[in-house]
Amino acid sequence: MKPGVKILHKNTRLGYWTGSALLVLLLAGGTGCAQDKPGERLDHAAARGENLAQLEPLRLAIDQRLLLAQGVARAKWNARAQVEDLPREAQVIRAAVEQGAALGLPASWIEAVFRAQIEASKTVQRELFAQWRAQQVDHFADAPDLAKTVRPELDRLTAQILRSMLTNQSVLRDPARKSDVARALGALEARTLSPAAVEQALAPFQSPQ
């Protein structure tokens, strides 16, 4: 063979091995960057679980607020009152926004959350009213006093919801955690009372503001 041909072959082989070595190094480096170590994956999973566990007070408050709608409905039924009370609703939302603003929460988010809770409560009440009309129910002996019993409890739950929103706002308002939040909040006892009302109550947390 001519000398030039031999040199060409040597250079080709050298380039091949050099390129192969670089490829191996790049793949090894890329794999290390792209994948977490097993311990790191466990740490991430534990952190996510801890964040979701902190949503439990919020889940309980939403559930309890919906369940209170049964007592509210009985009291309104006895008084022959309408389900919708717009001045009272405005008062509740205004008070919640003021409390939340003192905590540093966005007013628009607070309003969306509490308007959803009110609409969900009205859904429960309307469904119960329809049921009682069909059953020709006259009067409830166990209806609570709205002013003395129900509203103080609603005020307590409002404060609990706001505190939970403050504590967990980074998770609640993260679109990437939407499915996690839905799982954490979804197991409500009130679902047996009214699935439609539950969906209304949870809607602001399933579509981050």
What CATH code is carried by the domain that includes residue 127?
A: 1.20.59.10
**Same domain? 153 vs 67:** yes
- Kindly report, residue by residue over 97-145, the tens digit of the pLDDT: 999 999 999 999 999 999 999 999 999 999 999 999 999 999 999 999 9
- Provide the phi-psi class of 2: left if phi over 0, else alpha when psi is between -120 and 50, else beta: beta
Asked if residue 122 belongs to a domain, the reply is yes
What mean pLDDT is predicted for residues 30-38? 49
pLDDT confidence of residue 206? 85
- Kindly report, residue by residue over 155-201, the tens digit of the pLDDT: 999 999 999 999 999 999 999 999 999 999 999 999 999 999 999 99
pLDDT beyond 50 at 42: no
Smallest CA-to-CA distance from 78 within 140, 126, 135, 131 is with: 140
Asked if residue 135 belongs to a domain, the reply is yes
Fill in the amino acid letter for 73: A
**Same domain? 176 vs 143:** yes
**Same domain? 126 vs 31:** no
- In 3-state terms, what secondary structure has residue 130? helix
Which residues constitute the domain of residue 82? 57-206
Q: Could you give the number of structural domains in the chain?
A: 2
Asked if residue 202 belongs to a domain, the reply is yes
For the record, the structure tokens of 108 come out as 């628009």
Residue with tokens 């390129």: 19
pTM strictly above 0.85:
no
pLDDT confidence of residue 38? 53
> Taking CA 154 as the corner, what is the angle to CA 82 and CA 127, rounded to the nearest 5 degrees?
40
Q: For residue 168, how many other CB atoms are within 10 A of its CB?
A: 21
**Same domain? 135 vs 172:** yes
What mean pLDDT is predicted for residues 27-35? 44
**Same domain? 12 vs 100:** no
**Same domain? 61 vs 92:** yes
Percent of the chain clearing pLDDT 70 (strictly above): 75
> Taking CA 11 as the corner, what is the angle to CA 7 and CA 16, rounded to the nearest 5 degrees?
150
Asked if residue 43 belongs to a domain, the reply is no
**Same domain? 191 vs 126:** yes
What span, in angstroms and rounded, lies between the C-alpha atoms of 142 and 40?
A: 55
**Same domain? 108 vs 18:** no
Asked if residue 168 belongs to a domain, the reply is yes
